[in-house]
Amino acid sequence: MTLHEAIEKVLKEKGKPLKPTEIAEILNEIKIYQKGDRSRIKSGQVSARVNNYPSYFFKENGLIYLSNWNSTTEKNKKTIPAKKAHTNINTESMTIKLIGDPSNKDFLTKNKFEKLGTLSQLLKNGLPNNEKLNLCGIYAISIPSDYLPEYYSPEEIKIRGNVINPWTIEKLKNKWVSGSDLVYYGLAGKISFRSLNDRLNDLLRHGNGKISSSGPHKGGEILWQLKNYGTFEVWILPTNEPPEPRNYEKLILRTFHENTNKLPFANRQF
């Protein structure tokens, strides 16, 4: 059991939000999760793990809640079941429904994603003239059905100049998701309005090596360590304004993880 799974279990069993110190104390007592060196779990470790898993938890007034709890009622709602083809999540403005498995390419067509073109075309010619790109939304990157992963080493990628923090080939191999047609999901409009056009231009600038130490699209940049990435296809799904893009992305990534036990290759966190 991982630390975030242990935290989730404690909160579900208690049925109410808890302070990081309270969670650490319970975990040290019941020992459902133990560190490699068997030392005591500290509240700071609990807080750090919670911060890394926003799809599982949120914090309010010093307390940690499960993400599907209402902070005013503190009542647990039904969680997303694993391996479910039709999944719903309630937001203030709408109900989001996923059809199919987001690790498979047919998920994109079933959920009305629109294909923009291959990365090779977009890196060379830029984004097409498409009114939908002026909206917030979700974007996805898929691979050909016959694609076999090969990787640029950190030494090779330094010459190409489009990855800020390259990974070792061994680490990349461990991150690969066998059997999945999708290597990345992203969003435009996490907190405030931002168009798909702006965010995807960040992606293309990064892929063309127009980078600084902070971006412009540092998230998912190990995508560019995959050889033959020019054959990958980019898809978009326009949404309403925030918080809808983030809610949609969280549900996609959570469902992907439940179905494969991994995140998409180039996604690092929920």
Note down pLDDT in tens along the chain; length 270 residues.
889 989 999 998 888 899 999 999 999 999 998 888 889 999 989 988 888 787 788 888 889 988 777 654 333 333 333 344 444 444 344 457 899 999 999 999 999 999 999 999 999 999 999 999 999 999 999 999 999 999 999 999 999 999 999 999 999 999 999 999 999 999 999 999 999 999 999 999 999 999 998 899 999 999 999 999 999 999 999 999 999 999 999 999 999 999 999 999 999 998
Global pTM reads 0.67
3-state SS, residue 60: strand
Amino acid identity for residue 263 in this structure? L
Q: How far is it, in rounded angstroms, from Cα 111 to Cα 157? A: 35
The residues, ordered by sequence, that sit 6+ positions from 203 with a Cβ below 8 Å of its Cβ are 139, 186, 217, 220
Q: What pLDDT, on a 0 to 100 scale, did the predictor assign at position 79?
A: 39
Please give the helix or strand (H or E) that residue 63 lies within, else none: strand 63-66
Q: How far is it, in rounded angstroms, from Cα 74 to Cα 70? A: 5
In the chain, how long is the greatest CA-to-CA distance? 59
| Nearest of 193, 195, 221 to residue 207 by alpha carbon | 221
Q: What percent of the chain has pLDDT over 90?
A: 72
Helix ranges (DSSP H) in the chain: 3-14, 20-30, 43-52, 106-110, 119-125, 154-160, 169-175, 196-207, 244-260
